Chain A
Amino acid sequence: MKQLLDLKKDFPILNEKVNGKPLVYLDNSATSQKPQEVINSITEYYTKYNSNVHRAVHTLGEKATLKYEEAHEKVANFINASKEEVIFTRNTTESINLLAHSLQISKSDNIVITDMEHHSNLIPWQQICKKTGAELRFIPIDKEGKLNLKQIPIDNNTKVVSVVHISNVLGIINPVKELAKLAHQYGALFIVDAAQSVPHIKVDVKDLDADFMAFSGHKMLAPTGIGVLYGKKRLLQKLPPFLTGGGMISNVTKDASKWADIPNKFEAGTPNVSGAIALGVAVDYLQNIGMDEINKNVKELVSYLMKRLLELNNISIYGPENGDRTALVSFNLLNIHPHDVAEILDKEGIAIRAGHMCAKPLMDILGVNAVCRASPYFYNTKEDIDHLIESLKKVQEVFK
């Protein structure tokens, strides 16, 4: 069988053995593995030029600052934004918290999200609504799991529409461009949770016309602890800071402070310098392969995964069997708890995710308390998926 992209060699962890078996890593929606050059960039920073950014006048400080700023630029180019529109955070969750706290939500506002949000794009809004008295509304999903676009609870009091781009449970790609247009017709801000999309498909913030977009580095080959908030320049300039303190000011007296320009205004405290630099290297790696190529490969792996899963008896698959989906497939084997499935697969060296996927309300709608999720990335192969299917058959054998 021909391999799609022969890139496993770039990822040292993929040569590891787990429980005596070669690792088959199919939990990429949780976090991706890291190529050697990303790992090297972290080592290089700490062995050659570790230093704080934006302050030191010495050589190391200057190099660290330049590299850190270059990382903003790389990420900006990657999503078709400008450099100052890219704010480094810890992760998607922090990016959305920043917005929920800085956007001045008031009692008369409502916020529209969807039934398929990850907790990262639900709880920050839920809590800000509790605090302010604003109303949280949900775009429902239909039987197939797609957003029901005929029932969007938007009106002139909608302040924010915040939608997941690719569902981390259903793998569905939501029509964010259309939703952006609709939100703007009602004068609402449009936010995209792109945690699962930026690693897989070319995302162009100008084309989407997103006002803000959040994503995490660790799902796209970078280390944990580095994430991104994109925002349109004029919006970021108006927005008050979320965290205050070091590094985000232009002037301070005992009584008052003036904020630095964007993006520094939103990057209080010493940032994750090595993480940001490594994210820049991860972006280079992805762009060298090309996002179209990556998308094509993952889609092919996902449709192969779907086809092979459907060969099994007593399996439920969540989301539509074909159509606009990628990245992952969630499923359940009849009468076998996902944790038991995952544990037996682990004995075979296969890593999948089992649980509620941080999408508890969606689990309730699906009528389950947990699912199994297999999520390939471009370095996976059809053999990996064959191995998964054979092992799932063994699981069914154990529980027969």
Chain B
Amino acid sequence: MIDLYQEELLEHYKSPKNSGILENPTVKFHDTNPLCGDEVTVTAKIKNKFVKNLKFESRGCAISVASASKLSEQIKGKSVEEVLKLDNKFVLDLIVVPISAMRLKCALLSLKAIQKAIIQSEDK
């Protein structure tokens, strides 16, 4: 009944990687999914156009928390340019299990947040 809630995803939900708020981040962005009230705050240190470190503080459902956790592992060390190029498919492939249209926003919240954080800092 519950492919969606397979062990591995649940592990990421129960003990998310890179969770919390970084001290002295170079970029920070808070985003919400108004549909369900999921919230995420991303803090990251970007140096020489590379994401040296980042943390997501997620308050939300298993899908949003687990996708932030998995995504954080992928993003660390990538260039800003690479991160901005990541698309929906990248996150969905990370999560592996099929996501219904209604839950897409949950899954993509953390990616959108880090991308908005980067864009916002570049605009300054």
Task: Give me the interface of A with B, judged by CB distance under 8 Å.
Answer: 336-340, 343-344, 347-348, 354-356, 360, 363, 369-370, 394, 398-399
| A348 surroundings in chain B (CB, below 8 A) | 1
Q: Does any Cβ of A come within 8 Å of B51's Cβ?
A: no
| A337 surroundings in chain B (CB, below 8 A) | 38, 60-62, 65
For the complex, would chain B's binding face be called helix, strand, loop or mixed by DSSP majority?
A: mixed
**In the complex the two chains form, is A338's CB within 8 Å of B4's CB?**
no
| B37 surroundings in chain A (CB, below 8 A) | 355-356, 360, 363, 369-370
**In the complex the two chains form, is B60's CB within 8 Å of A344's CB?**
no
Q: Which of A340, A347, A356, A398 neighbours the largest number of chain B CB atoms within 10 Å of its CB?
A: A340
| B78 surroundings in chain A (CB, below 8 A) | none
**In the complex the two chains form, is A338's CB within 8 Å of B36's CB?**
yes
- The CA of A347 and the CA of B97, in the complex, are separated in Å by 15
**In the complex the two chains form, is A343's CB within 8 Å of B103's CB?**
yes
| B103 surroundings in chain A (CB, below 8 A) | 339, 343
Query: Which partner residue on chain B sits nearest A335 by CB separation?
Result: B14
List 10 interface pairs A-B (beta carbons < 8 Å), by A numbering.
Answer: A339-B36, A339-B38, A340-B63, A344-B4, A347-B2, A354-B36, A355-B37, A356-B37, A369-B38, A398-B2
- The CA of A394 and the CA of B5, in the complex, are separated in Å by 12
Take A338-B61, A354-B36 as given contacts and tell me if A399 and B2 are in contact as well, using a CB distance cutoff of 8 Å.
no
| A363 surroundings in chain B (CB, below 8 A) | 37
Give the size of the chain B interface in residues (CB under 8 angstroms): 19
Take A363-B37, A369-B37, A369-B38 as given contacts and tell me if A339 and B5 are in contact as well, using a CB distance cutoff of 8 Å.
no
- The CA of A118 and the CA of B37, in the complex, are separated in Å by 15
**In the complex the two chains form, is B36's CB within 8 Å of A344's CB?**
no
Take A344-B1, A344-B5 as given contacts and tell me if A355 and B39 are in contact as well, using a CB distance cutoff of 8 Å.
no
Distance (whole angstroms) from the CB of B35 to the closest CB of chain A: 7
